[in-house]
A and B are shown apart, each in its own frame.
Chain A
Amino acid sequence: MGVFRVLFKPFGQTTGLARWLLISGLLLTAMFVTFALFAPWIAPYGFAEEVPKKVAPPGDGFLMGTNDLWYDVWSRVVWGSRTAIEVVILAVILGLLVGVPMGLVSGYVGGWLDRILVLIMDALFAFPPLLLAIVFAFLFRDLIGGGVMAVALALAVIYVPQYFRVVRNTTLSAREATYVEAARAIGAPGHTIMGRYLFSNVIQSVPVIGTLNAADAIGTLAALGFIGLGIQPTDAAEWGFDLQRALDDTEAGLWWTGVFPGLAIVLLVTGLTLVGEGLNETINPTLRKRRLRRFALPPRRPAVEEEAAR
């Protein structure tokens, strides 16, 4: 219960600019989530379903035209949302599941365990994320094939250190809080202290990192697809892959095969970033400024004596 309260509180607390960032971001994101959820009904064709026309321009039965693989671009965009959202959710959840508990334990237990984990995580963090994603995409492709899961895992690896760092650092300071000592004083064992006292208080910045990572994941996913390490086109529709296919088309003056997948990437990344920044404004106390409401001071009330005289 407490956890959800902590996680969702900032959504309700936003005001002013932060609120607008949050709302516009949520609207954009919601659009793509709708595409993802209702793809079979929204998209006129399947993601790998060939249509009668090759490279037809937009209009004339094909909202965004068709491409050289005999695919309907609009359908690819809609099905691509499903892939993107699936991968992102999986990647973020996997990253959270590993990073948060690790950070919590590392920060609470301390000692050599902490030192080793910090060393590993810092090493991972030092690599350029895309490089890391490429390496792990290779690795997981060999292990479990080039599906959604493999890419999600590769992405999760690059986000784990971020959750780890944030959670570990907040745990380090929360560990000294009086309520943790109070928990020890009532005889709570270590796992209870971590689970019931620290956990809900150290995950406050997780929603922000989560959404920002999600935005980042969209980009990285597309990048992987672009260089051919992403999801196989027969497994699912993927914007990065389409973008890469469209590269040759631009020279031939075919703009629609590239613009629409590209636009989808930009919009979803923007939406998620806006949500993240909106939340950040609210959660981060240094960015937040308590503002007083404007109002007019009412005229002074006449003293009782004057009142009585009337």
Chain B
Amino acid sequence: MPTKPEIQGTAHAPKHRAPDEVLVSMQDVEVYFQLRGGSMARLLGMDTGSVRAVDGISLDLRKGEVLGLVGESGSGKTTLGRALLGLVAATGGEIRYAGQDITKLSTRHLRRLRGDLQMVFQDPSAALNPSMTIETAVGHPLKIHGLASGEELHRRVADALERVGLSPPERFMFKYPGDLSGGQKQRAVLARAVILDPVLLVADEPVSMLDMSVRAKILQLMLDLKRDLDLTYVYITHDLASAKFFCDRVAIMYLGRVVEVGRTEEIFADPKHPYTRSLLKAIPEPDPEKALPRDLPRGEIPDAASPPLGCAFHPRCPEAFDMCGWERRDLRALIEAHWTRHEALDFETERGTIANLDDLDEPSHEAVVAAGRSSSPVDVEDLLHRIREEDADEPLWRGVEDMTLTDGGVRVRFHDGADPRLRPAGGVEVACHLYPEVEPAAGEGPAS
């Protein structure tokens, strides 16, 4: 067997004990986006509601570490990353960096901080001005801050390009982004981000738009940059596999909250939150011996404008129980799921039993399932019983306090439930009712 030429990157060990000096400290950060609503609503000055993109997150970022923000799209990762750099205004909470609260700084003061806090974007093709040469684009931060010009600027741009592997620099300087491949563009974006010698780099899914064969190269480059320039990273991703390799700590996000946070090894060795567990199980591994489990969470990430009551994950959670915040909309989903499982004929005969499923769309712990025109409340009750018998283990039933017949239908009342706060559990922090809020003295397992 011939020996391999040096084609693979030097295996780099990213995991080292991070010193505990806190670089950035986030306290209850909130970013709400006002929904625009229709023109009518605006005219009448109605409250159109808001999207809670980031909904009360407290995290410390330690110097020299790689903190991963992991979650499905829509969980607020990008928004939190942008808030960290002051690119989007936080509507609540504080973000402390170098003795200042970023959320309260004026635009001018923020601009001065740009040298320290930098960002790498998900789509390298969109992150570069299409009508600016690579040299101008990469050197622009220096020019804006008046740090270099002329020959000096040219030299520093060349250095930065060399550093990110775009060498010889002359070959790339005069090109436009359109002439570069995805990986090369992301390198140019990295060069622009490090040219000001920043302290913190927020990398928003830096490899997810790249071809798989380039991903490892860019991640390797980021590791090299971190080592050479003493950087701290916030690595945003939806890909747990790369987070496992790349991060020292990870925060798993769901609907604007952190649901689990801790050291990477601990989270991956013993995931605590049902969401984390599901994510881990759902990753298709390139190993045909492993098959995907059947008990994957149903449905998709709900609308952040009107999140589920109680624990936001409860409608999809395979381990949910009575405390988790069951509500009206879950009942609707359950009835629909029942019809989905059955023959079209059953649906035709049963659909008349219930008057209008849309009545169940508002969030509330109480539901009245009205009987259809040609049916009685007892029919509705029968239907619900049948659904219950079909799958007695369905966690929703654990949340039902009582079911009573009323004039027009069946009233279902659910336990009030509660919104689980982040709590320590075996070395990590989890936001889930399976773990008692106060750590028990003798390390008991999860209460279930």
Are these two chains actual partners, yes or no?
yes
A179 adjacent to B127 (CB under 8 Å): yes
Q: Which B residues are in CB contact (< 8 Å) with A184?
A: 87
Which stretch in A1-9, A17-25, A206-214, A282-290 binds the other chain?
A: A1-9
Q: Which A residues are in CB contact (< 8 Å) with B131?
A: 2-3, 5-6, 200-201
B127 adjacent to A196 (CB under 8 Å): no
> What mask results when residues 5 to 33 of chain B are scored 1 for a CB within 8 Å of chain A, else 0?
00000000000000000000000000000
> What mask results when residues 178 to 207 of chain A are scored 1 for a CB within 8 Å of chain B, else 0?
110111111111001000110011000000
Q: How far is the CB of B317 from chain A (nearest CB, A)?
A: 34
B119 within 8 A of A: yes
What are 24 A-B contacts defined by CB distance under 8 Å?
A: A1-B133, A2-B129, A2-B131, A5-B131, A177-B126, A178-B123, A178-B126, A179-B126, A179-B127, A181-B82, A182-B119, A182-B192, A186-B114, A186-B140, A186-B192, A186-B196, A187-B112, A187-B141, A187-B145, A188-B140, A196-B140, A200-B132, A201-B129, A201-B131
A182 adjacent to B128 (CB under 8 Å): yes
Q: Which A residues are in CB contact (< 8 Å) with B129?
A: 2, 179, 183, 196-197, 200-201
Q: Which B residues are in CB contact (< 8 Å) with A3?
A: 131
Bound complex: CA A2 to CA B140 (Å): 14
Q: Which B residues are in CB contact (< 8 Å) with A177?
A: 126
Q: In the complex, which of the residues B112, B119, B123, B133 contacts A185, with contact meaning CB atoms closer than 8 Å?
A: B119
Q: Which B residues are in CB contact (< 8 Å) with A181?
A: 82, 87, 121
Q: How large is the interface on A (under 10, 10 to 19, 20 to 34, 35 or more residues)?
A: 20 to 34
State whether A185 and B140 are in contact (beta carbons under 8 Å apart), knowing that A3-B131, A179-B128, A201-B129 are contacts in the complex: no
Q: Which B residues are in CB contact (< 8 Å) with A187?
A: 111-112, 114-115, 141, 144-145
Q: How far is the CB of B84 from chain A (nearest CB, A)?
A: 11
Interface-centre pick from B85, B122, B133, B140 (highest chain A CB count, 10 A): B140
A196 adjacent to B114 (CB under 8 Å): no
Q: Which A residues are in CB contact (< 8 Å) with B145?
A: 187
Contacts A2-B136, A186-B140, A186-B144 known; 17 new A-B pairs at CB < 8 A: A2-B129, A2-B133, A5-B131, A5-B176, A177-B126, A178-B127, A182-B192, A183-B140, A186-B114, A186-B118, A187-B141, A187-B145, A188-B140, A188-B144, A197-B129, A197-B132, A201-B130
B189 within 8 A of A: yes
Q: Which B residues are in CB contact (< 8 Å) with A192?
A: 144
Interface residues of B in 25-82 (CB under 8 A from A): 82
Q: Which B residues are in CB contact (< 8 Å) with A196?
A: 129, 132, 140
Chain B residue at minimum C-beta to C-beta distance from A187: B114
Q: How far is the CB of A17 from chain B (nearest CB, A)?
A: 25
Q: How far is the CB of A256 from chain B (nearest CB, A)?
A: 50
Bound complex: CA A200 to CA B85 (Å): 27
A182 adjacent to B114 (CB under 8 Å): no
Interface residues of B in 123-163 (CB under 8 A from A): 123, 126-133, 136, 140-141, 144-145
Bound complex: CA A1 to CA B112 (Å): 29
